[in-house]
């Protein structure tokens, strides 16, 4: 009887992809309207799609390297920068950020409100963004004042030299509650003129706690020997789950506090090639997942994540429709001098811990045995951290090497 029940559950999970395709074809455009109906959800969908596009570009630069990103933070930094460009340049930036689909005359207010809601302490997410500008540019006060009035952050004027390094790093560390330090790893070059910077930290709490933590278990690596890493483990863990054969993976949505979820995309085979999963990701696809995944209880095993990741996003932004603007950078509301972006610095820090507010169910079958459906994230995987009320993508990451899970 137990075996029959398990097979029925597995069959329902395997039907996820077909059900999603059928629902999409039946509903057509109506489905899109149902998904994103308010200024906040529409903006969240736009920033998420920007994040997926940027993530794909980052991943393509070196397919064998783990990648982590906070789309909300980068969107917010570039939105601040867009306040200093011409109308023509603004259209180019808005298209890259996917804002061109919104038709929101109050976009800056909408973004400010969305960021405020996402930074609520219970969600475990915090971010800070600032534009760094060289003093020698003879900066226009109107731009500095407008950004400060709108977002409560005045662009920082660089004086040149080692003092800038300490001032920048101290500010970001303070704004992220001490969690993101050294966002600039070394002193800025003397020719630095314009530098957008975004930092984000996430440590959300699970709804259901894990009884076993830091249990050493094997993480399978493509073409290499398994590596022992610390894992979190819990039986009868409530998740939503499904298998999508079109992209070759099983998906689990694990609930966290205050409406946040973590999605795990686990390939059916041990592989570093997650391209099919990456290409499938859009705001609409993930929203549809949240509506169609099946609620089940599983024997859940997750890696303990402690990640610190820093990168320059400027090369990837060129491939998102900004190459023309970057070649002839227009910042006429910031300075009348010719100027180029030196870099786009981004740093994310993320942690997971076994704590949660509830205990897993102890429900058993008539024979006194639990129905064992396992979900073990023990190989290269892709994950999302998403705010369910708004649909905003807070974090996205691809883990190829288990060593990348322990970089703090």
Q: Point out the domain boundary residue: 333, 350, 367.
A: 350
CATH number of the CATH domain containing 369: 2.30.39.10
How many helices and strands (H and E) does the chain possess? 13, 16
pLDDT of residue 189: 84
- Assigned domain for 87 exists: yes
Together in a domain, 283 and 398 = yes
**Do 83 and 161 belong together in one domain?**
yes
Average pLDDT score over the chain = 88
* Cα separation, 100 vs 72, whole angstroms: 17
Each residue of 86-135: pLDDT tens digit?
A: 999 999 999 999 999 898 889 999 999 999 999 999 999 999 999 999 99
Average pLDDT score over residue span 310-334: 92
One domain for residues 232 and 357: yes
| Residue 145 domain boundaries | 69-119+125-202+309-350
Quote the pLDDT of residue 407.
59
Percent of the chain with pLDDT over 90: 73
- The residue with greater pLDDT, 359 or 301, is 301
Q: With 90 as the cut, is the pLDDT of residue 82 above it?
A: yes
387 and 247 within one domain:
yes
Tell me if 46 is assigned to some domain. no
Same domain? For 332 and 211 the reply is: no
Tokens, residue 108: 């800056």
Is residue 383 included in any domain, yes or no? Answer: yes
Number of domains present in the structure of the chain? 2
N- to C-terminal Cα separation, the chain? 47
Q: Which residue has the higher pLDDT, 311 or 17?
A: 311
Question: Is the pTM above the cut of 0.95?
Answer: no
CB 208 within 8 A of CB 220: no
- Residue 373's contacts (CB-CB under 8 Å, 6 or more residues apart) are 6, 9, 10, 296, 297, 298, 299
Question: Where does the pLDDT of residue 396 fall: very low under 50, low under 70, confident under 90, or very high at 90 and above?
Answer: very high
Count of beta carbons in the 10 Å neighbourhood of residue 370: 15
pLDDT tens, 178-191? Answer: 999 999 988 888 88
User: Are both 79 and 197 inside the same structural domain?
Assistant: yes
**Residues 266, 254: Cα–Cα separation, whole Å:** 13
How long, in residues, is the chain?
A: 408
Model confidence at 313, pLDDT cuts 50, 70, 90, reads: very high
Read off the pLDDT of residues 138-164 as tens digits, 9 standing for 90 and up. 999 999 999 999 999 999 999 877 789
Determine the 3-state secondary structure of 311 from DSSP.
strand
Q: How far apart are CA 99 and CA 79, in angstroms?
A: 10
Nearest to 123, CA basis, from 197, 65, 203, 186: 203
Report phi then psi at 405, rounded to 5: -80, -5
User: Is 215 inside any structural domain?
Assistant: yes
Average pLDDT, integer, range 1-26: 41
| pLDDT above 60 (res 400) | yes
Tokens of 373: 């459906």
Tell me whether residue 54 is in a domain: no
Residue 177 pLDDT exceeds 60: yes
255 with 326, same domain?
A: no
Query: CB of 255 within 8 A of CB of 207?
Result: yes
Same domain, 321 and 263: no
| Cβ atoms within 10 Å, residue 404 | 19
pLDDT band at 23 (very low <50, low <70, confident <90, very high): very low
Specify the DSSP class assigned to residue 272: S
Same domain membership, residue 391 and residue 342: no
Mean pLDDT computed over 243-267: 96
If asked whether residues 164 and 15 sit together in one domain, one would say: no
Pairing of strands 156-158, 381-387: unpaired
Distances in Å between the alpha carbon of 104 and those of 110, 284, 300?
Answer: 8, 19, 42
Query: Is residue 136 in some structural domain?
Result: yes
Q: Does a structural domain hold residue 295?
A: yes
The CATH number for 156's domain is: 3.30.497.10
Q: Is residue 44 part of a domain?
A: no
pLDDT at residue number 371: 54
> From CA 234, how far away is CA 251, in angstroms rounded?
18
Residues 247 and 325 in one domain: no
Report whether 320 contacts 69 (CB < 8 A). Answer: no
Q: Which is it for the CA torsion 303, 308, 313, 315, positive or negative?
A: negative
379 and 258: one domain?
yes
> At 288, is the secondary structure helix, strand, or coil?
helix
The tens digit of pLDDT for each residue in 326-365 reads 988 999 999 999 998 989 999 999 999 888 888 888 765 4
pLDDT at 368 over 60: no
Q: Average pLDDT, stretch 15-28?
A: 42
Average pLDDT in the 288-306 region?
Answer: 94
């Amino acid at each position: 009887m137990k075996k029959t029940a398990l097979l029925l559950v597995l069959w329902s999970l395997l039907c996820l992809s077909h059900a999603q395709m059928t629902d999409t074809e039946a509903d057509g455009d109506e489905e899109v309207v149902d998904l994103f109906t308010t200024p906040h959800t529409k903006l969240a969908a736009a920033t998420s799609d920007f994040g997926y596009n940027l993530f794909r570009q980052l991943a393509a630069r070196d397919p064998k390297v783990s990648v982590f990103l906070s789309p909300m933070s980068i969107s917010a930094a570039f939105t601040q920068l867009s306040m200093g460009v011409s109308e023509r340049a603004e259209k180019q930036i808005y298209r890259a950020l996917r804002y061109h689909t919104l038709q929101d005359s109050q976009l800056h207010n909408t973004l400010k409100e969305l960021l405020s809601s996402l930074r609520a302490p219970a969600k475990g997410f915090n971010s800070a963004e600032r534009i760094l500008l060289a003093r020698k540019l003879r900066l226009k006060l109107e731009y500095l004042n407008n950004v400060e009035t709108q977002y409560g952050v005045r662009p920082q004027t660089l004086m040149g030299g080692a003092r800038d390094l300490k001032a920048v790093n101290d500010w970001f560390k303070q704004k992220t509650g001490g969690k993101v330090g050294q966002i600039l790893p070394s002193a800025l070059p003397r020719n630095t003129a314009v530098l957008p910077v975004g930092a984000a930290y996430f440590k959300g709490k699970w709804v259901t706690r894990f009884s076993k933590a830091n249990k050493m278990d094997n993480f399978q690596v493509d073409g290499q020997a398994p590596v022992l890493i610390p894992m979190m483990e819990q039986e009868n863990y409530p998740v939503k789950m499904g298998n999508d054969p079109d992209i070759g993976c099983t998906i689990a949505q694990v609930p966290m506090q205050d409406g946040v979820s973590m999605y795990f995309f686990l390939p059916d085979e041990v592989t570093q090639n997650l391209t099919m999963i990456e290409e499938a990701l859009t705001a609409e696809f993930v929203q549809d997942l949240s509506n169609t995944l099946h609620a089940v209880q599983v024997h859940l095993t997750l890696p303990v994540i402690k990640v610190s990741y820093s990168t320059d996003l400027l090369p990837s932004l060129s491939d998102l429709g900004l190459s023309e603007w970057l070649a002839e950078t227009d910042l006429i509301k910031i300075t009348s001098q010719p100027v180029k972006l030196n870099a786009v610095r981004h740093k994310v820090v993320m942690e997971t811990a076994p704590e949660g507010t509830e205990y897993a169910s102890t429900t058993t079958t008539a024979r006194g045995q639990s129905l064992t459906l396992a979900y073990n994230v023990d190989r290269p995987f892709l994950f999302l951290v998403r705010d369910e009320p708004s649909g905003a993508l807070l974090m996205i990451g691809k883990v190829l090497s288990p060593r990348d899970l322990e970089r703090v």
